[in-house]
Amino acid sequence: MTNTNNIVNSKSILKDNFGRDHAYLRISLIERCNLRCSYCMPAEGVKLSPKSHLMTSDEIYNIAKTFVKHGVKKIRLTGGEPLIRKDIPVILEKLATLNVTLSITSNAVIIDKHIAILKQNNVNKINISLDSLDRKKFKEITLRDQFDKVYSNLLLLVEEDFEVKVNVVLMKGFNDNEIINFINLTKDLPISIRFIEFMPFDGNKWDKNKMVSYKEIMACVNSTYKTNEVIRLTDAKNDTTKNYKIKGYKGSFGVISSVTNPFCDSCNRLRLTANGKIKNCLFSASESDLLTTLREGKSIEPVIKKAVEAKFKVRGGMDTLEKLQEPKLHNQNRSMITIGG
């Protein structure tokens, strides 16, 4: 009889058929959020998983431990809004015992209440979602009047010496006129602004015409600043962002061009949804159920291995912009809020 462990260990279970090693795991803790951003959540809302179908803190830890055993070096916690989960202190404390860099993505509405627990567990890298510096537009996109709170918490995080990145989903005719305003924040703040191309997910009414491309963003930058003022930075290995800074500014900015210039060749990311499904690509409609396997007392390693090996070379198989524009392809995927930001 063939030994399952030998099959699992014959090669790294986190290496796919294109030679990509996956050392970065993004774990969604919750499907709910205290904001309702339209590009993330459909206007009619989403059908939430029953609480019994969501991973417990122990299950999150045990699944994460398996990934770390096989080479994951970085874990990012996402949601929904991960900080509204009541057992977030327990989750952080458990994951902090693993030999990984631990970070979190938040909308920053309530992050001021969690400064101490984040520091205690060495969570020094914070990504904040903030799509407008205009109070009215912020309310329009989030359906909540929380701009002042988010902005003050951004400043608080900088003051408390966190490494802060600000994620900005650009949409034509809505916030594309704020590109320079965001970059100018980096003049006095040591933060990284990351402009993200609007991506298609179930229910977010994606339209290519709403997307602001990498080329358009840089055209805006280059028409505002002198050529010798725009400095191209060296991107970190496996970085999804093309990074720049303005000469003399404390911070930096970059562009995540998932649509027009995908970075799939160097992708090292896997995603774990709040209900325990592994997604091998943000754009992939297919998922593999780790939680049920874990609860049945079986090894999750063969499931992980099979899921990683099934990963497409480019964007969940949507290797052209034409395929990406086909609704029946990206509508088979989850809404962004139930994948994890």
> Is there a contact between 292 and 52 (Cβ–Cβ < 8 Å)?
no
Q: What is the pLDDT of residue 339?
A: 59
Q: What Cα–Cα distance (Å) separates residue 253 from each residue in 231, 244, 261? A: 10, 5, 17
Query: How much of the chain, in percent, has pLDDT values that exceed 90?
Result: 68
284 pLDDT band, cuts 50/70/90, is confident
What is the tens place of the pLDDT at every residue in 166-218? 999 999 999 999 999 999 999 999 999 999 988 654 444 556 778 899 999 99
Domains by residue range for the chain, with CATH:
4-339 (3.20.20.70)
Tokens of 283: 């754009």
Q: Which of 129-133, 179-183, 256-260 has the lowest mean pLDDT?
A: 256-260
Q: What is the pLDDT of residue 204?
A: 44
338 pLDDT band, cuts 50/70/90, is low
pLDDT, mean of residues 23-45: 79
How many CB atoms sit inside 10 A of residue 125's CB?
17
Residue 311 has pLDDT above 70, yes or no: yes
What is the tens place of the pLDDT at every residue in 216-249? 999 999 999 999 999 999 998 888 899 999 999 9
Strands of the 230-232 sheet, one edge to the other: 230-232, 242-246, 252-256, 192-197, 163-170, 125-129, 101-106, 74-78, 24-28, 269-272, 277-279, 288-289
Average pLDDT for the chain: 87
User: Amino acid identity of 20?
Assistant: R
Global confidence as pTM: 0.87
